[in-house]
A and B are shown apart, each in its own frame.
Chain A
Amino acid sequence: QKEVEQDPGPLSVPEGAIVSLNCTYSNSAFQYFMWYRQYSRKGPELLMYTYSSGNKEDGRFTAQVDKSSKYISLFIRDSQPSDSATYLCAMGPSQGGSEKLVFGKGTKLTVNP
């Protein structure tokens, strides 16, 4: 079983739709959880950072962490064509308090005008 599982999609939605992106993980040692957005041939850009369980909202983006279920989500409200990108979940630390990030494979999202 991989440490982090993420549905690679692709996901295609109309403009204005609510988008839900999800990851599951197996390592209960993870303490902080991130969502990155990556445009084609660019580096990942940090969208949301959450420490431990709970919800965090930033504009149109909401991140949820459920440590009991080992499940994290990113919701995008009123999606825009500019949101079209690959979304990567990442989490850490893992074994022995290491700070390396473990990423999902990424979900490719297309928002159609």
Chain B
Amino acid sequence: DAGVTQSPTHLIKTRGQQVTLRCSPKSGHDTVSWYQQALGQGPQFIFQYYEEEERQRGNFPDRFSGHQFPNYSSELNVNALLLGDSALYLCASSFGNPPSGYTFGSGTRLTVV
């Protein structure tokens, strides 16, 4: 049973560019959340998608946007990249309310130069 799959694994972008990260949730999960983890820090919640809509959003600027597709997969888009956006971006999937747990992918490491 495949877990959460994220692509790409690594990415280097230049300041001002735009990036799209992708996530396929664990089989049977319908909710996708995105987190940003800076080096030496715990993950910070960006937003959550359920039924193709953004259900909740953390304290991140509008440069961060997302989408969920009918097959529950999701994308995270970041516009006008800043050096401070360099981090590990994690996708987590879940099912149920309350969820029985969140399954995380291995993440996409984004470096902005």
Instruction: Write the residues of chain A forming the contact surface with B, with a CB cutoff of 8 angstroms.
Output: 4, 6, 8, 31-32, 34, 36, 41-46, 49, 51, 88, 90, 93, 98-106
Contact = CB atoms under 8 A, between A and B. Distances in A.
Give the contact-size bracket for chain B: 20 to 34
A102 B45 contact: yes
A100 B41 contact: no
Nearest to B103: A46
Contact of A34 (B88, B101, B107, B109): B101
Given A41-B109, A42-B106, A43-B104, A100 B98 contact: no
B91 to A, nearest CB: 8
Given A41-B109, A43-B90, A88-B42, A101 B98 contact: no
Given A93-B98, A105-B41, A100 B104 contact: no
Contacts of A8: 40
A72 B107 CA distance: 27
21 contacts: A4-B42, A8-B40, A43-B4, A43-B104, A44-B90, A51-B98, A88-B42, A88-B43, A99-B98, A99-B99, A100-B48, A101-B33, A101-B92, A102-B45, A103-B43, A103-B44, A104-B42, A105-B40, A105-B41, A106-B41, A106-B42
A100 B4 CA distance: 18
B56 interface: yes
B58 interface: yes
Nearest to B99: A99
B74 to A, nearest CB: 15
A44 B48 contact: no
A99 B97 contact: yes
Nearest to A102: B45
B42 A103 contact: yes
A4 to B, nearest CB: 8
Contacts of A49: 100-101
Nearest to A8: B40
The 3 closest A-B CB pairs, nearest first, are: A103-B42, A43-B104, A100-B45
